[in-house]
Amino acid sequence: MEKIQPVRGTKDLFAEDYLKHEHIIAIAKNIAHLYGYQGISTPIFEFGNVFKRSLGEASDVVGKEMYSFVDKGNEEITLRPEFTAAICRAYISNGFQHLLPLKLFTHGPLFRYERPQKGRQRQFHQLNYEFLGPSCPEVDAEVIAMAANLLDKIGVLKDTILELNSLGCTQTRKNYQEALVVYLKDFENELSYDSKIRLAKNPLRILDSKDENDKKIIINAPKINNYFTSEAADFFAKLQEYLTLLGINFKINHSLVRGLDYYNHTAFEFVTTALGAQGTVLAGGRYNGLIKLLGGDDTSGIGFAAGIERLALLCELPEQKLRSCAVIIFDNAHTNIAMKIANELRLKNVAVQFEPGIKFDKALKNAVKANCQFAVFVGEEELKTNSVKFKNLDTRLEKTIKIEDLQYEFC
Protein backbone atom coordinates (compact mmCIF):
# COMPACT_ATOMS: atom_id res chain seq x y z
CA MET A 1 0.00 0.00 0.00
CA GLU A 2 1.25 3.45 -0.90
CA LYS A 3 2.40 5.40 2.13
CA ILE A 4 0.36 8.58 2.71
CA GLN A 5 2.60 11.63 2.87
CA PRO A 6 2.01 15.38 3.21
CA VAL A 7 2.25 17.39 0.00
CA ARG A 8 5.79 18.63 -0.67
CA GLY A 9 6.31 22.01 0.90
CA THR A 10 3.71 21.51 3.64
CA LYS A 11 4.31 20.60 7.25
CA ASP A 12 2.20 19.41 10.16
CA LEU A 13 2.52 21.63 13.23
CA PHE A 14 2.67 19.60 16.42
CA ALA A 15 4.19 19.71 19.89
CA GLU A 16 6.99 22.34 20.03
CA ASP A 17 6.36 23.58 16.47
CA TYR A 18 2.71 24.25 17.28
CA LEU A 19 3.51 25.82 20.66
CA LYS A 20 6.06 28.16 19.07
CA HIS A 21 3.54 29.30 16.46
CA GLU A 22 0.94 29.97 19.15
CA HIS A 23 3.53 31.79 21.28
CA ILE A 24 4.55 34.07 18.39
CA ILE A 25 0.94 34.78 17.40
CA ALA A 26 0.04 35.66 21.00
CA ILE A 27 2.90 38.18 21.16
CA ALA A 28 1.90 39.60 17.76
CA LYS A 29 -1.69 40.10 18.93
CA ASN A 30 -0.50 41.90 22.03
CA ILE A 31 1.76 44.18 19.96
CA ALA A 32 -1.22 44.96 17.71
CA HIS A 33 -3.23 45.93 20.80
CA LEU A 34 -0.42 48.13 22.16
CA TYR A 35 -0.25 50.11 18.91
CA GLY A 36 -4.00 50.33 18.29
CA TYR A 37 -4.30 47.83 15.42
CA GLN A 38 -7.62 46.12 14.76
CA GLY A 39 -7.85 42.48 13.75
CA ILE A 40 -9.01 41.53 10.27
CA SER A 41 -9.33 38.17 8.53
CA THR A 42 -9.57 37.92 4.75
CA PRO A 43 -10.57 34.83 2.73
CA ILE A 44 -7.87 32.30 2.03
CA PHE A 45 -8.49 32.73 -1.71
CA GLU A 46 -9.32 35.69 -3.94
CA PHE A 47 -10.04 36.37 -7.60
CA GLY A 48 -6.73 36.04 -9.42
CA ASN A 49 -6.72 39.68 -10.60
CA VAL A 50 -6.39 40.93 -7.02
CA PHE A 51 -2.82 39.64 -7.00
CA LYS A 52 -2.05 40.00 -10.70
CA ARG A 53 -2.90 43.71 -10.66
CA SER A 54 -1.10 44.39 -7.39
CA LEU A 55 2.02 42.24 -7.76
CA GLY A 56 2.37 42.67 -11.53
CA GLU A 57 2.35 40.12 -14.34
CA ALA A 58 6.16 40.29 -14.54
CA SER A 59 6.74 39.39 -10.88
CA ASP A 60 8.05 35.96 -9.90
CA VAL A 61 5.06 35.46 -7.61
CA VAL A 62 2.54 35.90 -10.43
CA GLY A 63 4.61 34.29 -13.15
CA LYS A 64 5.93 31.25 -11.29
CA GLU A 65 4.62 30.86 -7.75
CA MET A 66 0.87 31.42 -7.48
CA TYR A 67 -1.51 28.56 -6.82
CA SER A 68 -4.36 29.40 -9.22
CA PHE A 69 -7.25 27.39 -10.58
CA VAL A 70 -10.52 27.86 -12.44
CA ASP A 71 -13.55 27.06 -10.26
CA LYS A 72 -16.90 25.60 -11.29
CA GLY A 73 -18.18 29.09 -12.07
CA ASN A 74 -15.32 29.51 -14.58
CA GLU A 75 -13.66 32.14 -12.36
CA GLU A 76 -9.90 32.24 -11.88
CA ILE A 77 -9.22 31.81 -8.17
CA THR A 78 -5.86 32.19 -6.42
CA LEU A 79 -4.77 31.01 -2.98
CA ARG A 80 -3.41 34.15 -1.37
CA PRO A 81 0.40 34.47 -1.76
CA GLU A 82 0.54 37.58 0.47
CA PHE A 83 -1.71 39.68 2.70
CA THR A 84 -1.32 43.31 1.58
CA ALA A 85 -3.28 43.05 -1.68
CA ALA A 86 -6.04 41.07 0.04
CA ILE A 87 -6.36 43.69 2.79
CA CYS A 88 -6.43 46.52 0.25
CA ARG A 89 -9.16 44.64 -1.63
CA ALA A 90 -11.10 44.36 1.66
CA TYR A 91 -10.62 48.10 2.24
CA ILE A 92 -12.16 48.87 -1.16
CA SER A 93 -14.99 46.33 -1.23
CA ASN A 94 -16.12 47.06 2.35
CA GLY A 95 -15.94 50.84 2.01
CA PHE A 96 -13.49 51.40 4.85
CA GLN A 97 -12.60 54.91 3.62
CA HIS A 98 -14.58 56.60 6.40
CA LEU A 99 -12.52 54.71 9.02
CA LEU A 100 -9.18 56.31 8.09
CA PRO A 101 -6.63 56.32 9.55
CA LEU A 102 -6.92 52.56 9.79
CA LYS A 103 -4.48 50.16 11.45
CA LEU A 104 -5.03 46.47 10.64
CA PHE A 105 -3.44 43.24 11.85
CA THR A 106 -3.83 39.71 10.54
CA HIS A 107 -2.06 36.37 10.49
CA GLY A 108 -2.51 33.02 8.82
CA PRO A 109 -1.40 30.72 6.00
CA LEU A 110 -0.14 31.85 2.59
CA PHE A 111 0.73 29.79 -0.48
CA ARG A 112 3.56 30.01 -3.01
CA TYR A 113 4.87 27.33 -5.32
CA GLU A 114 8.59 27.66 -4.78
CA ARG A 115 11.47 25.48 -3.68
CA PRO A 116 10.92 24.51 -0.03
CA GLN A 117 13.74 25.81 2.14
CA LYS A 118 14.64 26.41 5.75
CA GLY A 119 11.91 28.52 7.30
CA ARG A 120 9.85 28.69 4.10
CA GLN A 121 7.33 26.12 2.92
CA ARG A 122 4.84 26.19 0.06
CA GLN A 123 2.17 26.67 2.70
CA PHE A 124 3.72 29.10 5.16
CA HIS A 125 2.41 31.48 7.80
CA GLN A 126 2.86 35.21 8.33
CA LEU A 127 2.12 38.03 10.71
CA ASN A 128 0.96 41.15 8.85
CA TYR A 129 0.43 44.78 9.89
CA GLU A 130 -0.93 47.58 7.68
CA PHE A 131 -1.36 51.32 8.43
CA LEU A 132 -3.64 53.06 5.90
CA GLY A 133 -4.13 56.82 5.76
CA PRO A 134 -1.40 59.37 6.46
CA SER A 135 1.86 59.48 4.50
CA CYS A 136 4.62 61.02 6.60
CA PRO A 137 7.96 59.97 8.11
CA GLU A 138 6.47 59.98 11.62
CA VAL A 139 4.11 57.14 10.66
CA ASP A 140 6.89 55.18 8.98
CA ALA A 141 9.07 55.53 12.07
CA GLU A 142 6.28 54.27 14.32
CA VAL A 143 5.66 51.26 12.06
CA ILE A 144 9.35 50.35 12.07
CA ALA A 145 9.48 50.86 15.85
CA MET A 146 6.54 48.50 16.21
CA ALA A 147 8.33 45.91 14.06
CA ALA A 148 11.42 46.20 16.26
CA ASN A 149 9.28 45.87 19.39
CA LEU A 150 7.63 42.76 17.96
CA LEU A 151 10.98 41.10 17.24
CA ASP A 152 12.29 42.12 20.66
CA LYS A 153 9.30 40.59 22.48
CA ILE A 154 9.72 37.37 20.48
CA GLY A 155 13.39 37.42 21.48
CA VAL A 156 15.02 37.64 18.05
CA LEU A 157 15.78 41.37 17.60
CA LYS A 158 19.33 40.80 18.87
CA ASP A 159 19.93 38.41 15.97
CA THR A 160 18.86 40.88 13.28
CA ILE A 161 20.05 44.03 11.52
CA LEU A 162 17.59 46.64 10.29
CA GLU A 163 18.38 47.60 6.69
CA LEU A 164 16.75 50.80 5.47
CA ASN A 165 16.31 52.55 2.14
CA SER A 166 14.10 55.05 0.40
CA LEU A 167 12.60 54.55 -3.05
CA GLY A 168 11.80 58.25 -3.19
CA CYS A 169 8.81 59.89 -4.79
CA THR A 170 7.41 59.19 -8.27
CA GLN A 171 9.85 61.60 -9.93
CA THR A 172 12.77 60.06 -8.04
CA ARG A 173 11.90 56.59 -9.28
CA LYS A 174 11.45 57.83 -12.84
CA ASN A 175 14.86 59.56 -12.88
CA TYR A 176 16.59 56.63 -11.21
CA GLN A 177 15.02 54.00 -13.42
CA GLU A 178 16.22 55.83 -16.54
CA ALA A 179 19.78 55.95 -15.19
CA LEU A 180 19.66 52.30 -14.11
CA VAL A 181 18.51 51.15 -17.56
CA VAL A 182 21.32 53.09 -19.24
CA TYR A 183 23.84 51.37 -16.93
CA LEU A 184 22.38 47.86 -17.29
CA LYS A 185 22.10 48.06 -21.09
CA ASP A 186 25.90 47.75 -21.24
CA PHE A 187 25.61 44.38 -19.46
CA GLU A 188 22.42 43.12 -21.09
CA ASN A 189 24.04 40.05 -22.63
CA GLU A 190 25.55 39.06 -19.26
CA LEU A 191 22.34 39.36 -17.25
CA SER A 192 20.38 36.27 -16.16
CA TYR A 193 17.34 35.26 -18.19
CA ASP A 194 14.94 36.68 -15.60
CA SER A 195 16.83 39.97 -15.37
CA LYS A 196 16.78 40.41 -19.14
CA ILE A 197 12.98 40.27 -18.95
CA ARG A 198 12.95 42.65 -15.99
CA LEU A 199 15.15 45.13 -17.84
CA ALA A 200 12.26 45.77 -20.21
CA LYS A 201 9.38 45.48 -17.73
CA ASN A 202 10.63 46.43 -14.27
CA PRO A 203 14.37 47.19 -14.06
CA LEU A 204 14.36 48.02 -10.33
CA ARG A 205 13.67 44.37 -9.57
CA ILE A 206 17.08 43.45 -10.98
CA LEU A 207 18.58 45.03 -7.85
CA ASP A 208 16.93 42.21 -5.89
CA SER A 209 18.24 39.43 -8.15
CA LYS A 210 19.60 36.31 -6.44
CA ASP A 211 21.74 35.38 -9.46
CA GLU A 212 25.43 35.59 -8.52
CA ASN A 213 26.52 37.20 -11.79
CA ASP A 214 23.69 39.75 -11.58
CA LYS A 215 24.91 40.64 -8.09
CA LYS A 216 28.38 41.40 -9.43
CA ILE A 217 26.92 43.68 -12.13
CA ILE A 218 24.70 45.49 -9.63
CA ILE A 219 27.62 46.40 -7.32
CA ASN A 220 28.62 49.35 -9.51
CA ALA A 221 25.09 50.34 -10.55
CA PRO A 222 23.88 53.89 -9.82
CA LYS A 223 22.48 54.41 -6.30
CA ILE A 224 18.97 55.76 -5.91
CA ASN A 225 19.97 58.35 -3.30
CA ASN A 226 21.80 60.27 -6.01
CA TYR A 227 18.46 60.86 -7.75
CA PHE A 228 16.34 61.97 -4.77
CA THR A 229 14.19 65.04 -5.25
CA SER A 230 14.31 67.50 -2.36
CA GLU A 231 10.98 66.08 -1.16
CA ALA A 232 12.30 62.52 -1.13
CA ALA A 233 15.58 63.49 0.54
CA ASP A 234 13.74 65.41 3.26
CA PHE A 235 11.31 62.53 3.92
CA PHE A 236 14.17 60.03 4.27
CA ALA A 237 16.28 62.35 6.46
CA LYS A 238 13.38 62.92 8.86
CA LEU A 239 12.67 59.18 9.04
CA GLN A 240 16.27 58.57 10.10
CA GLU A 241 16.02 61.33 12.70
CA TYR A 242 12.91 59.76 14.23
CA LEU A 243 14.44 56.27 14.31
CA THR A 244 17.52 57.68 16.04
CA LEU A 245 15.24 59.48 18.50
CA LEU A 246 13.53 56.15 19.28
CA GLY A 247 16.87 54.40 19.78
CA ILE A 248 16.48 52.10 16.76
CA ASN A 249 19.74 51.15 15.06
CA PHE A 250 19.72 50.81 11.29
CA LYS A 251 22.01 50.35 8.30
CA ILE A 252 21.42 52.15 4.98
CA ASN A 253 21.25 49.74 2.05
CA HIS A 254 20.74 51.64 -1.21
CA SER A 255 20.19 48.38 -3.10
CA LEU A 256 17.17 47.44 -1.00
CA VAL A 257 14.12 47.79 -3.23
CA ARG A 258 10.49 46.99 -3.65
CA GLY A 259 10.31 46.50 -7.39
CA LEU A 260 6.64 47.30 -7.98
CA ASP A 261 5.56 50.71 -9.22
CA TYR A 262 3.24 51.56 -6.35
CA TYR A 263 6.01 51.38 -3.74
CA ASN A 264 7.63 54.65 -2.75
CA HIS A 265 9.67 56.23 0.01
CA THR A 266 10.39 53.81 2.86
CA ALA A 267 11.61 50.25 2.35
CA PHE A 268 13.02 48.20 5.23
CA GLU A 269 14.06 44.69 6.21
CA PHE A 270 15.24 43.03 9.40
CA VAL A 271 17.80 40.47 8.24
CA THR A 272 19.75 37.77 10.05
CA THR A 273 22.72 35.47 9.51
CA ALA A 274 21.73 33.28 12.47
CA LEU A 275 20.16 30.76 10.09
CA GLY A 276 23.20 30.48 7.84
CA ALA A 277 23.12 32.63 4.73
CA GLN A 278 21.63 36.07 5.26
CA GLY A 279 17.86 35.83 5.33
CA THR A 280 14.97 38.23 5.78
CA VAL A 281 13.02 37.83 9.01
CA LEU A 282 10.64 40.79 8.55
CA ALA A 283 10.15 43.17 5.64
CA GLY A 284 7.96 46.11 4.79
CA GLY A 285 7.54 49.34 2.90
CA ARG A 286 5.30 52.21 1.86
CA TYR A 287 2.83 51.53 -0.99
CA ASN A 288 0.93 54.76 -1.63
CA GLY A 289 -0.29 53.75 -5.09
CA LEU A 290 -1.65 50.25 -4.46
CA ILE A 291 -5.24 50.95 -3.44
CA LYS A 292 -5.71 53.30 -6.40
CA LEU A 293 -4.21 50.66 -8.71
CA LEU A 294 -6.81 48.16 -7.45
CA GLY A 295 -9.65 50.57 -8.25
CA GLY A 296 -10.04 52.41 -4.95
CA ASP A 297 -9.42 56.00 -3.98
CA ASP A 298 -5.93 57.45 -3.66
CA THR A 299 -5.06 56.13 -0.19
CA SER A 300 -1.57 55.92 1.27
CA GLY A 301 -0.35 52.85 3.11
CA ILE A 302 2.64 51.25 4.80
CA GLY A 303 2.99 47.80 6.26
CA PHE A 304 5.19 44.83 6.95
CA ALA A 305 5.04 41.06 7.22
CA ALA A 306 7.07 38.48 9.14
CA GLY A 307 7.27 34.76 8.48
CA ILE A 308 6.25 32.74 11.52
CA GLU A 309 8.28 29.67 10.47
CA ARG A 310 11.47 31.73 10.27
CA LEU A 311 10.75 33.44 13.59
CA ALA A 312 10.15 30.02 15.15
CA LEU A 313 13.60 28.87 14.05
CA LEU A 314 15.16 31.82 15.87
CA CYS A 315 13.13 31.96 19.07
CA GLU A 316 12.92 29.81 22.20
CA LEU A 317 9.75 28.86 24.04
CA PRO A 318 9.49 30.53 27.45
CA GLU A 319 9.22 28.36 30.54
CA GLN A 320 5.60 27.59 31.31
CA LYS A 321 4.27 29.82 34.08
CA LEU A 322 1.00 27.96 34.54
CA ARG A 323 1.70 24.24 34.75
CA SER A 324 -0.87 21.53 34.98
CA CYS A 325 -1.88 19.01 37.61
CA ALA A 326 -2.22 15.30 36.86
CA VAL A 327 -5.05 13.30 38.42
CA ILE A 328 -3.90 9.68 38.61
CA ILE A 329 -5.89 6.61 39.70
CA PHE A 330 -4.43 3.46 41.23
CA ASP A 331 -6.98 1.32 39.41
CA ASN A 332 -10.10 1.70 37.28
CA ALA A 333 -12.40 1.25 40.27
CA HIS A 334 -11.70 4.88 41.19
CA THR A 335 -12.37 6.37 37.75
CA ASN A 336 -15.67 8.03 38.68
CA ILE A 337 -14.38 10.04 41.65
CA ALA A 338 -11.16 10.92 39.77
CA MET A 339 -13.18 12.17 36.80
CA LYS A 340 -15.26 14.32 39.13
CA ILE A 341 -12.16 15.76 40.83
CA ALA A 342 -10.60 16.59 37.43
CA ASN A 343 -13.79 18.28 36.25
CA GLU A 344 -14.18 20.39 39.41
CA LEU A 345 -10.56 21.54 39.25
CA ARG A 346 -10.99 22.57 35.61
CA LEU A 347 -14.08 24.57 36.57
CA LYS A 348 -11.75 26.42 38.97
CA ASN A 349 -9.40 27.19 36.03
CA VAL A 350 -6.82 24.55 36.97
CA ALA A 351 -5.31 22.76 33.97
CA VAL A 352 -5.65 19.02 34.56
CA GLN A 353 -4.16 16.02 32.80
CA PHE A 354 -6.41 13.00 33.35
CA GLU A 355 -5.98 9.76 31.42
CA PRO A 356 -8.63 7.18 32.30
CA GLY A 357 -7.84 3.67 31.18
CA ILE A 358 -4.07 4.17 31.59
CA LYS A 359 -2.16 2.10 34.15
CA PHE A 360 -0.74 3.91 37.17
CA ASP A 361 2.95 3.71 36.20
CA LYS A 362 2.27 4.91 32.65
CA ALA A 363 0.04 7.77 33.86
CA LEU A 364 2.73 8.95 36.29
CA LYS A 365 5.41 8.77 33.60
CA ASN A 366 3.18 10.78 31.25
CA ALA A 367 2.64 13.41 33.96
CA VAL A 368 6.39 13.89 34.34
CA LYS A 369 6.87 13.98 30.56
CA ALA A 370 4.13 16.64 30.26
CA ASN A 371 5.97 18.76 32.88
CA CYS A 372 3.05 18.65 35.32
CA GLN A 373 3.87 20.41 38.56
CA PHE A 374 1.47 18.49 40.79
CA ALA A 375 -0.14 15.07 40.93
CA VAL A 376 -3.32 14.02 42.73
CA PHE A 377 -3.46 10.30 43.54
CA VAL A 378 -6.85 8.68 43.98
CA GLY A 379 -6.99 5.24 45.63
CA GLU A 380 -8.95 3.00 47.98
CA GLU A 381 -7.24 4.08 51.19
CA GLU A 382 -7.67 7.77 50.41
CA LEU A 383 -11.34 7.50 49.57
CA LYS A 384 -12.10 5.82 52.89
CA THR A 385 -11.30 9.21 54.49
CA ASN A 386 -12.67 11.34 51.60
CA SER A 387 -9.14 12.49 50.82
CA VAL A 388 -6.39 12.25 48.17
CA LYS A 389 -2.62 12.28 48.13
CA PHE A 390 -1.24 15.54 46.72
CA LYS A 391 2.37 15.56 45.48
CA ASN A 392 4.62 18.34 44.21
CA LEU A 393 6.50 16.60 41.38
CA ASP A 394 9.32 19.17 41.54
CA THR A 395 10.09 18.95 45.26
CA ARG A 396 8.77 15.38 45.77
CA LEU A 397 6.89 16.59 48.86
CA GLU A 398 3.62 14.74 49.41
CA LYS A 399 0.68 15.23 51.76
CA THR A 400 -2.88 14.05 52.27
CA ILE A 401 -5.66 16.58 51.61
CA LYS A 402 -9.42 16.45 51.99
CA ILE A 403 -11.07 16.44 48.56
CA GLU A 404 -13.13 19.54 49.36
CA ASP A 405 -9.92 21.45 50.22
CA LEU A 406 -8.00 20.42 47.10
CA GLN A 407 -8.91 23.54 45.09
CA TYR A 408 -7.19 25.80 47.64
CA GLU A 409 -3.78 24.32 46.79
CA PHE A 410 -3.99 26.22 43.48
CA CYS A 411 -5.00 29.65 44.78
**Share above pLDDT 70 across residues of the chain, in percent, rounded to a whole number:** 96
Distances (CA, A) of 245 to 142, 270, 374: 11, 19, 49
pLDDT computed for residue 92 by the predictor: 97
pLDDT computed for residue 203 by the predictor: 87
CB 401 within 8 A of CB 385: no
Lowest mean pLDDT segment, chosen from 51-55, 179-183, 392-396: 51-55
- Delimit the CATH 3.30.930.10 region(s) of the chain: 16-169+229-314
pLDDT computed for residue 321 by the predictor: 61
pLDDT computed for residue 202 by the predictor: 81
Residue 160's DSSP bridge partners are 272
Binning pLDDT at 50, 70 and 90, where does residue 261 land? low
pLDDT computed for residue 357 by the predictor: 87
| Domain 16-169+229-314: which CATH number of 3.30.110.40, 3.30.70.2190, 3.40.50.300, 3.30.930.10 | 3.30.930.10
Lowest mean pLDDT segment, chosen from 72-86, 280-294, 362-376, 380-394: 380-394
Residue 306's DSSP bridge partners are 127, 282
User: How does pLDDT run across 32-88, given as a tens digit for each residue?
Assistant: 999 999 999 999 999 998 988 877 665 666 667 889 999 999 999 999 999 999 999
In whole angstroms, how large is the CA radius of gyration of the chain?
Answer: 27
- How many Cα atoms sit within 13 Å of 123 on the Cβ side? 11
Lowest mean pLDDT segment, chosen from 198-212, 227-241, 292-306, 380-394: 198-212
SS3 269: strand
CATH number of 325-410: 3.40.50.800
Binning pLDDT at 50, 70 and 90, where does residue 361 land? very high
Residues in the chain: 411
pLDDT computed for residue 2 by the predictor: 77
What integer is the mean pLDDT of 325-345? 91
CA pair distance 95, 268, nearest whole angstrom: 29
User: How does pLDDT run across 270-328, given as a tens digit for each residue?
Assistant: 999 888 766 899 999 999 989 999 999 999 999 999 999 999 999 998 876 667 899 99
User: How does pLDDT run across 218-238, given as a tens digit for each residue?
Assistant: 899 999 999 999 999 999 999
Greatest CA separation found in the chain? 93
- Delimit the CATH 3.40.50.800 region(s) of the chain: 325-410
End-to-end CA distance of the chain: 54
Helices 230-245 + 137-154 axis angle, to 10: 40
User: How does pLDDT run across 95-143, given as a tens digit for each residue?
Assistant: 999 999 999 999 999 999 988 877 789 999 999 999 999 999 999 999 9
CA pair distance 40, 34, nearest whole angstrom: 16
CA pair distance 218, 222, nearest whole angstrom: 8
